[in-house]
Structure 1
Amino acid sequence: MSRPRRFGPHAIAAAALAASLLAGCAAPGPDRATAAGTSTAVTSEPGCGPGPVVLRARFETGFPLAKALADEFTRQHPAVTWDVREEQFAVLTQNAPRLLADDPPDLVRLPQVSDLVRDGLLRDLDGYAAWFGWDRWPPGQLRPMRVDPGGRPRGSGPLYATGFSTSVTGVFYNKDLAARIGFREPATLAEWDDALARAKAAGITPLAGFNSGAVGGLAFPLQSLMAAYGSPSEIDAWTFQRPGARIDTPANAEAVRHLWRWLRAGYFDADLNATDYARMLDRFTSGRALFLVDGDWESATLDRRMPGRVGFFLVPPVRAGDPRAAMSGPPTFGVPARAAHPDCAAAFLDWAVTDPVARETTVRVGGALPLGPVGAPVPPVEPGSVTAATLAAAEQVVANGTGMDFVANATGAILAESWTPRLQELAAGERGPDDLLGRVQADYTRQIGG
């Protein structure tokens, strides 16, 4: 059996080796569940063995990429089948610790890894990363899934999760509505503000948004504004629980006040706090809002439902010429410490980013840039499509090193227990902007115990 595949001149074409990897030439490796912080050496090529193997997985409802990849994996490797259960992200967030402790699957979509690492519930993937070559990817792609074995800080230490693609968030816009106000993609935040005001004056809802339930969506535009005013690395320092990092900085306070001005100006629908994600998306796709702050996971859907009618740009900076930052990183998948088939799960994760059909599926279904080394071939997309625009934006963020993790990933409970209710109060006019970040910081300090 050969050593792992490398992206190079023959790159993805050489991934035919993946067929032999999982067709039975490698025996299942030993069960190497380790305590958190123990490095896991991999001494023989991980695979699924001669089969049959049933991989148990927990995926997120409403995001079809993981299931599409699992189905393609079985098509190529019939000895491996799947037992998949899909759940809402909020349910995964709440149940992950108990699930991984009591009834661990082989692969699970993870909301946040720090607490799970601290409790020894996730497998250290460094051995697999060394074997397959994941540790030679651009460091920023996997940095959010590296965690000190004690659970904090994130951003360094062993690798406890990976993913299929590096998603990027930004601003989708309806080209038909944009033409009505003479919109051109903005170079600065002030230019975008001007477009929002002109849309409102023309009777067009400027921003589609959602903010209901336990997973409110105002954190997306807020974090985009925070990066426009400040530094994505400082935001990551807080999200990664680095000592001394704070969210209540002067730059972030300016971002909160900017969002508050948007709310006061009526740029979102009046029922924002009663609107869920699906309703927000429907409003945008039905032409009832000009802009949508969201991620490239919707690119394929928008190309299908609004072909040729959607554009995309990264949130512009305050100062023209400054690099644009964005929430960017893989939707996170981990292998539980007590998974029954860890080698097979790891082989699937590697196949998903090296196999040509898998990478094409990631672009076609997920609308996102597949993970892998710089220069790894990206499957072609339709010129002028919104998927083409989001792929270009993701490549720009990776090249500039201006990606950042989502602030909701700072702790397992910070989104549901702090960001969402605080932003719901702001949207309802129940509280002003000046103490929002201080209250989030207090919640964060209490949750991390420091």
Structure 2
Amino acid sequence: MKKTIVAALALSLTATACTPGSGSSSGPASAPSSVRTDAAALGQVELTVWDQEVRGGQAAQMTAQIKAFEAKYPNIKIKRVSRSFDDLKTTLRLALSGNDAPDVVQANNGRSDMGEFVKAGQLVPLDKWASAYKWGERYPDSVLQYSRYSADGKTFGEGNLYGLPQVGEVVGIYYNKTKVAKPPASWAEFEAELDKAKQAGDVPLQFGNLDKWPAIHVFGTVLDNYALPDQITKLAFGRPGATWTTPEKQQAAEVLVSWADNGYFPKGFNGQGYDPAWQEFGKGKGTFLIAGTWLQADLQKALGDKVGFMLPPGTKSVTGGTGLPFGITNKSKNPDAAAAYINFITSPDAMKTLTSTGNLPIADIAAQQAPAGLAGDIFKGFGTAVDSGLLVPYLDYATPTMYDTIGAALQDLLAKKATPQQFLDKLEADYSKFAGK
């Protein structure tokens, strides 16, 4: 399956995205003229690493990786700072502009984060290390391009390499097997199941949108039912000629509103956090949950063999890509040690650790033995999405400000403060401003 997945990824994944900087650009960071890969010969080193691997399976794999790394290289100590995705996104941009920036950071590869960090010269190009460690043999170009930017940060998907991810991601539908006898085979059957759950007095679709970004995944999943991969890819990567004002996007917005009107979401969903929502699903409250594969380990622990995962049935596209990549900051005093750490946590052995802790590895998929049950569902779903050429990037990649724009606009849409047309007009205004440049 590995060769097929790599080939399909090359056809289906292309990138562009962008925005967090504070202050003016200081220009691109310089790549080192030479690199050292003998980590044991680097002397006594302490590396400060910031990541967002805070949930069960994510935290478990990172703890195991660091322990193994320090055992292999006792001269290098890891000072780890772990934060939630939202906290990391908020604090990282400030930290990178300070004098005490971490050595290694896990940065969202969208334009609003990595693109701006590259533009400000805060991340170091990794190409020399990529060549020395032969990362190109482990990772296909279709994966690496999600962490590539031009030196000025303007073009996403081409140029220098600024990060390396550990995991693959796909957004799909978790379902409670005690409530769904047979997974729906079509979009119409899925909506019928939502209505059936409502009539039975259950929460049809568990959902919390206080953080704003969760609705991006739900709306993206609905849009996947109506728009072809090429349409979404061009839009999400900020390509010329793309637009938000199409019949497919209008229909997707109307469907999302109808779900709220029909009571398919829990009461007060716009005021409930993302974590409390999926945790409620883990307690058996709710029939379905639209979320990414990063919740695999936690939901497996909470529900055991009662939880399943499926790609949205019958859709034309599937949202997904890579997890947040790890990069090296321009303030790192030990970039060779930082590169050795990134190489270690993305190695073939690391992929085995990721699998054993309930995560979805981005490389060596065919070499992994996925456990039965939920993990098997997720491995199969990710492989199918990539193999079929259905995988499309996240919508908030589209412009440097789209993450904030679409998150706020979706809250307004679901709160009936904006019509579907007003919602799309707001996104188009953001996109046009960016594309016009």
TM-score by length of 1: 0.82
Alignment check: 8 A CA contact 2:358 2:375 kept = no
Asked if 1:267 corresponds to 2:268, the answer is: no
Counterpart residue number, 2:430? 443
Alignment of 1:345-356 (within 5 A): 345-356=338-349
Partner of 2:159: helix, strand, or coil?
strand
In structure 1, which of residues 136, 142, 147 is the aligned counterpart of residue 149 of structure 2?
A: 147
Counterpart residue number, 1:282? 279
- What is the CA deviation profile of residues 158-202 of structure 1, one whole-angstrom value per residue up to 9, with x for unaligned ones? 2111111112221110101113xxxx2233212211111111122
Alignment of 1:61-72 (within 5 A): 61-62=54-55, 63-64=58-59, 65-72=61-68
Alignment of 1:33-432 (within 5 A): 36=28, 42=34, 44-45=36-37, 47=39, 49-60=41-52, 61-62=54-55, 63-64=58-59, 65-102=61-98, 103-111=100-108, 112-136=113-137, 137-179=139-181, 184-213=182-211, 215-318=212-315, 324-356=317-349, 358-368=350-360, 370-372=361-363, 375=366, 377-378=367-368, 380-383=369-372, 385-411=373-399, 413-415=401-403, 417-432=404-419
Alignment check: 8 A CA contact 2:351 2:364 kept = no
Higher normalized contact order (CA 8 Å, seq sep 6+, divided by chain length): 2
Taking a change above 3 Å as real, the CA distance of residues 96 and 446 of structure 1, as seen in their structure-2 partners, is farther
Counterpart residue number, 2:9? none
Taking a change above 3 Å as real, the CA distance of residues 325 and 116 of structure 1, as seen in their structure-2 partners, is same
Cα distance in structure 1, aligned partners of 2:272 and 2:71: 39
Cα distance in structure 2, aligned partners of 1:163 and 1:304: 24
Paired residue type of 1:371: I
Unpaired runs of 5+ residues, structure 2, are 4-25
- What is the CA deviation profile of residues 1-37 of structure 1, one whole-angstrom value per residue up to 9, with x for unaligned ones? xxxxxx99xxxxxxxxxxxxxxxxxxxxxxxxx9638
Alignment check: 8 A CA contact 1:209 1:268 kept = yes
Alignment check: 8 A CA contact 2:413 2:420 kept = yes
Cα RMSD over matched residues? Answer: 2.6
Counterpart residue number, 2:17? none
- What is the CA deviation profile of residues 282-341 of structure 1, one whole-angstrom value per residue up to 9, with x for unaligned ones? 2101111011111111111122221111111011235xxx5x523221222221123222
- What is the CA deviation profile of residues 375-417 of structure 1, one whole-angstrom value per residue up to 9, with x for unaligned ones? 4x11x2332x2112112212222333432222233445432x3
Alignment check: 8 A CA contact 1:315 1:326 kept = no
Unpaired runs of 5+ residues, structure 1, are 1-6, 9-33
Counterpart residue number, 2:7? none
The structural deviation recorded for 1:69 is: 2.4
Paired residue type of 1:441: E
Alignment check: 8 A CA contact 2:30 2:124 kept = no
Cα distance in structure 2, aligned partners of 1:96 and 1:441: 28
Cα distance in structure 2, aligned partners of 1:243 and 1:42: 37
Partner of 1:151: helix, strand, or coil?
coil
The structural deviation recorded for 1:43 is: 5.7
Taking a change above 3 Å as real, the CA distance of residues 408 and 425 of structure 1, as seen in their structure-2 partners, is same
Alignment check: 8 A CA contact 1:37 1:148 kept = no
Partner of 1:434: helix, strand, or coil?
helix
The structural deviation recorded for 1:77 is: 2.8
Cα distance in structure 2, aligned partners of 1:233 and 1:72: 42
Paired residue type of 1:350: N
Counterpart residue number, 1:15? none
Cα distance in structure 2, aligned partners of 1:49 and 1:247: 53
What fraction of aligned residue pairs are identical, expressed as a percent?
A: 25
